[in-house]
């Protein structure tokens, strides 16, 4: 999934850095908190859906101005709402629509975080 997202985003002029955990989400969290970023896209293809709600507050605490999008094949209304309450900016179910994701990325990066 990381390579797919990287290709889509770089193809539209965005600078990207990919970190995939394959079950070791603490490695991704350490990677994120040590760097400056404008947007993080979390996916459940390498981070189990059960761990995403715990990683979001950590990211927001260390980077309050950072924007977060979650892409997940597991979703329910309550799961997505819980993630939004924890600080994500947008949730997309997998498979995602490329145009919708690109539109949201452009919107988030053009508007300062609250």
DSSP assignment string, the chain: -HHHHHHHHHTTT--------TT-HHHHHHHHHTS--SEEEEETTTS-TTTHHHHHHHHHHH-TT-EEEEEESS--HHHHHHHHHHT-SEEEESSPPHHHHHHHHHHHHHS---
pLDDT at 30 over 60: yes
Left if phi > 0, otherwise alpha if psi is -120 to 50, otherwise beta: which for 68?
beta
pLDDT at 21 over 70: no
pLDDT at 23 over 60: no
Amino acid 108: pLDDT: 96
Q: What is the mean pLDDT of residues 87-111?
A: 95
Q: What is the mean pLDDT of residues 80-109?
A: 95
Beta bridge partners of 71: 43, 92
Query: Rounded CA gap, 62 and 77, in Å?
Result: 27
Q: What is the mean pLDDT of residues 48-64?
A: 89
Query: Tell me: the pLDDT tens digits for 58-78?
Result: 889 888 899 999 999 988 889
Closest among 35, 47, 33 to 1, alpha carbons compared? 47
Q: How far is CA 94 from CA 4, 5, 51, 97, in A?
A: 13, 12, 17, 8
Kindly report the average pLDDT of the chain as a whole number.
Answer: 87
Q: What is the mean pLDDT of residues 4-16?
A: 93
pLDDT at 51 over 90: no
């Amino acid at each position: 999934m990381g390579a797919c997202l990287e290709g889509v985003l770089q193809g539209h002029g965005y600078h990207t850095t990919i970190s995939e955990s394959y079950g070791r989400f603490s490695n991704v969290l350490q990677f994120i908190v040590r760097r400056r970023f404008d947007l993080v896209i979390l996916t459940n293809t390498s981070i189990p859906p059960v761990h995403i709600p715990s990683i979001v507050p950590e990211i927001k605490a260390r980077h309050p101005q950072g924007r977060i999008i979650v892409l997940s094949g597991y979703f329910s209304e309550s799961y997505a709402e819980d993630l939004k309450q924890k600080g994500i900016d947008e949730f997309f179910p997998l498979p995602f629509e490329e145009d919708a994701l690109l539109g949201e990325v452009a919107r988030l990066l053009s508007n300062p975080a609250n």
